[in-house]
Copies of this chain bind each other. A is one copy, B any other.
Amino acid sequence: MDGVSESTPRSSRAQQRIDTQERILTAARQLFADAGYDRTTIRAIAAAAQVDAGLVMHYFGSKEQLFALATRTETPLVTGETPEEVAEQLLGVLRQSLIEEPIGSLAVLRSMLTHPDAAAEVGNAHAERVKVSKAIPGADGNLRAAVVSAILIGVVLGRHLIKLDELADADPEQIVELLRPAVLSLTKADQPE
């Protein structure tokens, strides 16, 4: 039954390699999020992972490739049908991002602004817009979706990165409540005047 019992011992070497790689990735994610791409050095990542800098290179090839792997993030789902459902799902994503720092996204966001190649990742990290735009009716659905994304990015950024005092200290639920009308006004189609 257990075909790997003898040929691949679960610990000691194969596993330790994987553990070490994961330790490096975790340290990289955290440091990239805290300090951005440029200010994060391979040596610092190695130190945080209690490893030599050369090993990081050996495993990941270059700082560039390590960054790409460390900041890969799965995009949240937006599957709602009605504007209200879409709005609630977006607010749910926001709530989660306010409660705990979305480390991968922060790393990308922070780095994107100084590191050219990171910008490409944003289309990926926030590809939710694509789905959002399909869920928002009207000819300007795409634009509305982009504006909503920008708003959410701005608020998350204001809380975790810029750390605007009021935003950083406030109750997440209160922020969500304040934003509900704003998000709703954007997920609903134009109403003729």
Chain A residues with CB under 8 Å of chain B are 35-39, 109-115, 119, 122, 129, 140, 142-147, 149-155, 157-159, 161-167, 170, 174-175, 178-179, 181-183, 185-186
Contact = CB atoms under 8 A, between A and B. Distances in A.
B143 A166 contact: yes
Of the listed residues A109, A146, A186, the one surrounded by the most CB atoms of chain B closer than 10 A to its CB is A146
Instruction: Name the 10 nearest CB pairs between A and B, nearest first.
Output: A154-B154, A150-B158, A182-B182, A36-B114, A181-B185, A146-B166, A38-B38, A150-B154, A146-B167, A150-B155
Contacts of A149: 158, 164
Of the listed residues A35, A147, A151, A153, the one surrounded by the most CB atoms of chain B closer than 10 A to its CB is A147
A162 B112 contact: yes
